[in-house]
């Protein structure tokens, strides 16, 4: 197993430059009459497209002053891209005409494919035509793309048509919703933030959102990408693309629809029953270094912050963190509360900084973090500037927050130059926070140009800093690569095979035997140490505990024989072999499982085990393969971690052995292509240095 960030050639990047930087455009279906087929031409003209426009229409002589041509074959040159806005039935044939003309890229806006009954056959014909003629097709049923710097607005959307001017900024958006794509683009422009690229992928018949994303993250005028998702095929590609984005200094922010949908097929395991697609996306995107948000408002706030603000200062000092100065003690306290809620560090000022603050701050001011300047700050005209200088120079300051109260606008304007100087000289994230007071777009943009975020609420301020700290943390992520040197494994069928499978996964099974009918426990269990556990095999019954088919702390051979007879009677199976194991009592119960039917392929889940797995739902998910660091970080997000560290005097568990087992279990799963699902529950993680023991295993083959 090794780990690294993938080289560019490991990610298939479609050649979309001819779309986003087109020099010539053919518009098939363009019309001089009002409507979408006319608006697509008007938008190109309105926003200053500098290339050549070729309307293609069998009936029109010209469209918006541009000569129209009857067919693609009649065009005087091979255009960079064909925009197709014609009835769905005509589209596959038009893609063939693109191929014959040598057109490499096309955007299909036409509806009537997968989204309507009976449209799948037509979509298949479209895909076949695209593949056969080597045409890269975006759509159908989408709203196209915006390419702001190139003035190439290839869309019919009303949002683009309604804008007068476009601002170029390092924000890109890839959306699986065309309507949302337009709304987001309009918002970014009307609020003054701007954008570089907006992409609507439509039905994704030929190219999908990740194809578009892979192109976007290679662009030099992108620093953050907003990604709106409903679902993905072969979603594991996102981990590689996110790694490439990090390598290029680009952060991906994702809004995923479908939180309320369960959407998972019925599964045999406990963890399979509680696994929702959204929960898997949440955890795997964290693993991938992608910031996940819960609303459009959060998405827009995140791309704003991440488009221009620097990362916090890197410090190894445990007393480092955010420095806060406030003119309101209450607002300062709120900031401290919100930092704690978001697990953000507040700094403890160094002795040197504390001494300087003692010198410059008036007697009434609080001189510890958060610094409270109180409402008398106007009597000390240089107070903001001098305090900022001290905080910015303190090596323990990773970011600075300035909190205003009721007179915030006046304080902002009076001290604006000092704030800009502090941001410039320190290079730190600097956020100026109001108490719900609104700032004009012009003033907000002025401070943004200086690298300063204006926030309207202390909670939003700490949310913004959480995103910056996360981006910094994600820079240390590595991508695990599967070990391709090991031979494939078969799905274990018998108990012996299951236990061997666990051994391969660095999981030690509890010592066991199968007590066959007619064999007494005196003979059959002679090599086991009491007390014992007596139970039926995993495939004999699903809910063994509820059915009374598990007996713990069995002390004598006679009791073993009695329980075995009882189990055979309950299940009406006199030939039933009964499993007998040595009982392990000194471990934290953990579940390790794998779900194979996710968008990301095989996914490892780890959580609180035993009978509590469905009750507490304390589970985290990781796409395979995984690194030790990823497993450890995932465990620390669980309540289980408190037990593993040693709770209420209990000894610390052997987390190192658990992490090793999780990594190797994942590797073993990847070597078993026919395994749909597997669960080891519970794994008993014993005290530190004593390893772990598994007492159960459940595996399901694909199509079983």
SS (H, E, C) 610-664: HHHHHHHCCEEEEECCCCHHHHHHHHHCCCHHHHHHCCCCCCCECHHHHHHHHHH
User: In this structure, are 375 and 227 located in the same domain?
Assistant: no
Identify whether 619 is part of a domain.
no
User: In this structure, are 157 and 37 located in the same domain?
Assistant: yes
Kindly tell me if the per-residue pLDDT of 155 is higher than 90. yes
Identify whether 329 is part of a domain.
yes
Indicate which CATH number applies to the domain containing 115: 3.40.50.720
- Rounded (to 5) percent helix, strand, coil in the chain: 35, 20, 40
- Domain range for 548: 511-582
Helix axes 329-341, 458-474, angle to 10 degrees: 40
Q: In this structure, how many other beta carbons lie within 10 angstroms of the beta carbon of residue 576?
A: 18
**pLDDT tens readout for residues 290-341:** 999 999 999 999 999 999 999 999 999 999 999 999 876 677 788 889 999 9
Helix and strand numbers, DSSP H then E, in the chain: 25, 32
Q: In this structure, how many other beta carbons lie within 10 angstroms of the beta carbon of residue 175?
A: 27
**pLDDT tens readout for residues 522-540:** 999 999 999 999 999 877 7
Q: Coil, strand or helix: which one is 550?
A: strand
Measured CA distances, 41 to 53, 148, 168 (Å): 8, 16, 21
Kindly tell me if the per-residue pLDDT of 259 is higher than 70. no
Kindly tell me if the per-residue pLDDT of 486 is higher than 80. yes
3-state SS of 330-396? HHHHHHHHHHHHCCCCECCCCHHHHHHHHHHCCCCCECCCCEECCCCHHHCCCHHHHHHHHHHHCCC
User: In this structure, are 56 and 125 located in the same domain?
Assistant: yes
Give which of 143, 198, 192 is closest to 166, Cα–Cα: 192
User: In this structure, are 234 and 378 located in the same domain?
Assistant: no
Whole-angstrom distance, CA of residue 483 vs CA of residue 201: 34
Identify whether 210 is part of a domain.
yes
User: In this structure, are 335 and 253 located in the same domain?
Assistant: no
User: In this structure, are 119 and 225 located in the same domain?
Assistant: yes
Domain end call among 414, 434, 450: 450
Q: Which residues contact 660 (CB under 8 A, 6 or more apart)?
A: 506, 628
Whole-angstrom distance, CA of residue 331 vs CA of residue 458: 7
Q: Contact at 8 Å (CB) between 219 and 172?
A: yes
| Higher per-residue pLDDT: 48 or 540 | 48
Q: What is the mean pLDDT of residues 365-372?
A: 86
User: In this structure, are 152 and 59 located in the same domain?
Assistant: yes
Give which of 495, 699, 680 is closest to 589, Cα–Cα: 680
Q: Specify which residues 248 forms β-bridges with.
A: none
Identify whether 694 is part of a domain.
no
Kindly tell me if the per-residue pLDDT of 260 is higher than 70. no
Q: What is the pLDDT of residue 10?
A: 60
Whole-angstrom distance, CA of residue 108 vs CA of residue 208: 13
| pTM greater than 0.85 | yes
Question: What percent of the chain has a predicted confidence (pLDDT) above 90?
Answer: 74
Whole-angstrom distance, CA of residue 147 vs CA of residue 160: 11
Q: Specify which residues 680 forms β-bridges with.
A: 592
Identify whether 273 is part of a domain.
no
| Higher per-residue pLDDT: 277 or 122 | 122
Indicate which CATH number applies to the domain containing 333: 3.40.50.261
Which tokens is 61 given?
């002589």
User: Cis link prior to 682 (omega < 30° from 0)?
Assistant: yes
User: In this structure, are 348 and 421 located in the same domain?
Assistant: yes
Whole-angstrom distance, CA of residue 237 vs CA of residue 348: 42
User: What one-character DSSP code corresponds to residue 227?
Assistant: E
Lowest-pLDDT range of 53-62, 81-90, 403-412: 403-412
Count Cβ atoms within 10 A of the Cβ of residue 519 and give its class: 0-12 exposed, 13-18 middle, 19 or more buried: middle
User: In this structure, are 113 and 205 located in the same domain?
Assistant: yes
Number of domains the chain is built from: 3
**pLDDT tens readout for residues 295-305:** 999 999 999 99
> How far is C-alpha 231 from the geometric centre of its chain's CA atoms?
12
Whole-angstrom distance, CA of residue 123 vs CA of residue 89: 10
Identify the band that residue 615 occupies on the pLDDT scale cut at 50, 70 and 90.
Answer: low
Which tokens is 56 given?
């293609």
Identify whether 609 is part of a domain.
no
Identify whether 338 is part of a domain.
yes
Identify whether 235 is part of a domain.
yes
Q: What is the pLDDT of residue 276?
A: 56
User: In this structure, are 249 and 357 located in the same domain?
Assistant: no
**pLDDT tens readout for residues 156-205:** 999 999 999 999 999 999 999 988 999 999 999 999 999 999 999 999 99
User: In this structure, are 325 and 248 located in the same domain?
Assistant: no
Domain end call among 520, 555, 582: 582
Q: What is the pLDDT of residue 268?
A: 41
Domain end call among 238, 257, 276: 257
């Amino acid at each position: 197993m090794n780990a690294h960030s993938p080289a560019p050639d490991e990610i298939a990047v479609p050649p979309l430059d001819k779309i986003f930087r087109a020099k010539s455009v053919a518009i098939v279906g363009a019309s001089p009459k009002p409507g979408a087929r006319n608006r697509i031409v008007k938008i190109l003209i309105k926003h200053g497209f500098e290339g050549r426009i070729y309307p293609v229409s069998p009936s029109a002589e010209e469209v918006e002053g541009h000569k129209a041509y009857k067919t693609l074959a009649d065009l005087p040159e091979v255009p960079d891209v064909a925009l197709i806005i014609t009835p769905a039935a005509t589209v596959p044939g038009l893609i063939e005409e693109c191929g014959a003309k040598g057109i490499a890229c096309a955007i299909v806006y036409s509806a009537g494919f997968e989204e309507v009954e009976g449209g799948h056959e037509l979509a298949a014909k479209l895909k076949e035509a695209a593949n056969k003629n080597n045409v890269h097709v975006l759509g159908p049923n989408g709203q196209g793309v915006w390419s702001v710097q190139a003035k190439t607005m290839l869309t019919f959307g009303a949002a683009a048509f309604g804008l007068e001017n476009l601002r170029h900024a390092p924000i890109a958006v890839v959306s699986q919703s065309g309507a949302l794509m337009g709304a987001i683009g309009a918002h970014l422009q009307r609020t003054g933030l701007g954008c570089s690229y907006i992409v609507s992928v439509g039905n994704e018949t030929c190219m999908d959102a990740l194809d578009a994303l892979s192109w976007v993250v290679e662009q030099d005028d992108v620093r953050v990408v907003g990604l709106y998702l409903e679902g993905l095929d072969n979603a594991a590609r996102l981990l590689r693309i996110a790694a490439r984005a990090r390598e290029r200094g680009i952060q991906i922010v994702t809004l995923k629809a479908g939180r309320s949908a369960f959407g998972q097929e019925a599964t045999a395991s406990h963890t399979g029953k509680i696994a929702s697609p959204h929960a898997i996306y949440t955890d795997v995107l964290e693993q991938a270094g992608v910031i996940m948000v819960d609303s459009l408002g959060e998405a827009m706030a995140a791309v704003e912050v991440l488009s221009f603000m620097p990362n916090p200062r890197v410090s190894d000092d445990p007393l480092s963190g955010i420095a806060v100065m406030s003119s309101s003690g209450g607002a300062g306290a709120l900031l401290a509360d919100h930092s704690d809620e978001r697990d953000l560090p507040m700094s403890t000022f160094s002795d040197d900084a504390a001494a300087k603050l003692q010198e410059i701050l008036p007697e009434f001011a609080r001189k510890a973090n958060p610094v409270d300047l109180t409402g008398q700050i106007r009597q000390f005209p240089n107070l903001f500037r001098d305090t900022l200088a001290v905080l910015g120079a303190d090596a323990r300051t990773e970011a600075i927050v300035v909190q205003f109260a009721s007179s915030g606008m006046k304080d902002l304007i009076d001290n604006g130059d000092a704030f800009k100087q502090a941001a410039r000289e320190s290079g730190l994230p600097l956020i100026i926070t109001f108490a719900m007071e609104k700032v004009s777009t012009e003033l907000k943009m002025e401070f943004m140009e200086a690298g300063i975020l204006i926030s309207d609420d202390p909670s939003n301020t700490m949310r913004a800093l959480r995103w910056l700290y996360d981006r910094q943390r994600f820079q240390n992520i590595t991508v695990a690569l599967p070990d391709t040197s090991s031979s494939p494994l078969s799905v274990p069928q018998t108990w012996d095979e299951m236990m061997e499978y666990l051994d391969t996964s660095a999981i030690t099974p509890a010592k066991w035997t199968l007590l066959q009918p007619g064999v007494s426990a005196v003979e059959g269990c002679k090599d086991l140490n009491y007390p014992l556990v007596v139970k039926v095999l995993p495939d004999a019954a699903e809910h063994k505990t509820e059915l009374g088919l598990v007996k713990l702390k069995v002390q004598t051979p006679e009791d073993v024989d009695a329980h075995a007879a009882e189990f055979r009677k309950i299940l009406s199976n006199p030939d039933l072999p009964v499993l007998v194991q040595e009982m392990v009592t000194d471990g934290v119960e953990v579940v390790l499982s794998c779900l194979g039917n996710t968008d990301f392929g095989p996914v490892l889940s780890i959580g609180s085990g035993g009978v509590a797995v469905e009750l507490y739902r304390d589970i985290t998910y990781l796409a395979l393969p995984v690194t030790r660091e990823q497993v450890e970080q995932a465990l620390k997000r669980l309540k289980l971690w408190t037990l593993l560290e040693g709770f209420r005097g209990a000894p610390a568990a052997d987390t190192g052995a658990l992490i090793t087992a999780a990594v190797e279990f994942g590797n073993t799963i990847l070597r078993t292509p026919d395994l749909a699902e597997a669960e080891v529950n519970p794994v008993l993680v014993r005290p530190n240095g004593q390893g772990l023991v598994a007492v159960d295993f459940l595996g399901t083959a694909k199509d079983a």
